[in-house]
Chain A
Amino acid sequence: MSTTATSLDEIRVLLRAQPHSLQDWLKRWRTQRLVWCVTIIIIGAGIYGAVMGAWRDALQGLYTGIKLPLVILLTTLGNTLLNGMLAPLLGLNRTFRQSLLMVLMTFAIAAVMLGALSPVAAFVVWNTPPLTAATRLASTEYGLLQLTLVVFIAYAGVTGNLCLVPLLRQWSGSASVARNVLLAWLAVNLLLGSQICWVLRPFIWDPARPVEFLGPEYLRGSFYETVFEAARRLLI
């Protein structure tokens, strides 16, 4: 009971994102804190992922519930070195551990928000006409569902990052340094995160494939090539 209360208190501290509280977290490195952030990400993003995939099938829900937290954790892991290097180069002289924990905290805030938005997302999924043989990728119902779920993710992600701006500003003593560090972290996380999403797709549905965790053809191509090709087709 007391552990649950402590965890809820910590979530409250995290969401309020008051610089003095978070600074205290970051100054005193504790592995427990790292594990706590990872757990929050697994639970929050996991629930939201399960809701996303549930539109197609319960098994797809399970897979997406695993894949969504995996995207976040793999992105954090893959960019640990880079984020830790970019911070001091842009004027925020912090250790690798502190940079890692800060990035994890932004994702943890986003995951808490996603977890909180899960009932709304579930309601949207529930109200979306079910998948039939006539459903296509271009179908309106699928488009609306996809758009709603992606908007929730984008909103949670942006809010998670913005929460840390006051802390970054206080630590660096400069608004421009805080902005540059945040933009650099956002850019590299977006670059790697979108590619990991691409590799781990589908999150909702792929009409050409049965329900599977990771299809063999998903490892081919990249998110940016597809966007580039689509833009080229539109323009040329």
Chain B
Amino acid sequence: MNDNNPPPIPPAYNPPGPPGSPNTPRALGDDPQDTVSITGPLSAIEAILRHPRRIIYQLRQPGAGHIVFALLLIAVAFSLVYGVVVGTFSLGAQLWAAPVKIAAGLVISALLCLPSLYIFSCLSGSQARLAEVVGLIAGLLALMTVLLIGFAPVAWVFSQSTESLAAMGALHLVFWIIATYFGVRFLATGFAHLSGKPGGLRVWVVIFLLVMAQMTTTLRPLVGTSEAFLQTEKKFFVKHWIEQLEKPNATLPTQR
């Protein structure tokens, strides 16, 4: 028995998914579409929606920095746009405060969770470099925000008709959950190609969701109005959400 043998490479994790979806278990680069280069943000948006394996393949190639940059640019720009839609509910200062808070919240959440994802990926036997992990998180954020832009017209229609803070908050929360689901699915596909086991990723996803949920309370108010840009009182997000729901007829002041 030779103890110097390298440890066996763990089998790739292939999350369940429909045939033809990004979760189909095939090696990266097998499909000619994987190797089509990504030239800019528009090309990155198309790739992340229609052919996510292309992003994952390109992230593993030398000089993938521009793709990561493009993905981050998409995430920041689109979260700012969605933030403006969120701000249209309260108008006034929220038109700039909400976009800033949402974009900052997303980026800060990702930064806070980046080290843990890298460590978890290493622990689960992945050979991924930090740059690849950064690229995957950037892809997750980009896909989330692209989907949020899809939801933006719906959110705008509701924000123009309802005056209930709780209803608008709940609606944005539902959109955020759906967008996060697809974002995490992209991350899982990428993680599978980094030879990671699913266990570590599942734990990380729970952590990431909790951090983002808490961010909605830390950066409050995102939907309603406030005299201060940020609230100083510390609060757990579950308590904050319950308080918002329990407020009788919580509506905006009379400016609308």
Binding site for B on A (CB under 8 A): 77-79, 81-82, 84-86, 88-91, 93, 172-174, 176-177, 180, 188, 191-192, 195-196, 198-199, 219-222, 224-225, 228
Contact = CB atoms under 8 A, between A and B. Distances in A.
A90 B150 contact: no
Contacts of B19: 91, 173-174, 177
A219 B160 contact: yes
B222 interface: no
Given A82-B150, A85-B146, A177-B19, A225 B157 contact: no
A85 B161 contact: no
B150 A195 contact: no
Contacts of A198: 161
B163 A220 contact: yes
Interface string B152-170: 1110011011111001000
Contact of A81 (B50, B153, B160): B153
A192 B20 contact: no
A173 B20 CA distance: 9
A225 B167 contact: yes
B188 to A, nearest CB: 13
B224 to A, nearest CB: 16
Given A91-B20, A173-B19, A177-B19, A220 B161 contact: yes
Nearest to B50: A88
B161 A180 contact: no
Interface in B46-76: 49-51
A222 B182 contact: no
A1 to B, nearest CB: 41
B255 to A, nearest CB: 14
Contact of B50 (A93, A192, A224): A93
B21 interface: yes
B40 interface: no
A192 B158 CA distance: 8
B10 interface: no
A62 B164 CA distance: 32
B89 to A, nearest CB: 12
Nearest to A177: B18
Contact of A89 (B154, B157, B163, B182): B182
Given A172-B20, A174-B18, A188 B164 contact: no
A195 B20 contact: no
A224 B163 CA distance: 12
A111 to B, nearest CB: 22
B163 A192 contact: no
B147 interface: yes
B81 to A, nearest CB: 12
Interface in B167-191: 167, 182, 185
Contacts of B185: 89
Interface in B33-55: 49-51
Given A82-B150, A91-B21, A195-B157, 14 more contacts: A78-B153, A78-B154, A81-B150, A85-B150, A90-B21, A172-B20, A177-B19, A188-B154, A195-B158, A195-B161, A221-B163, A222-B158, A222-B162, A224-B167
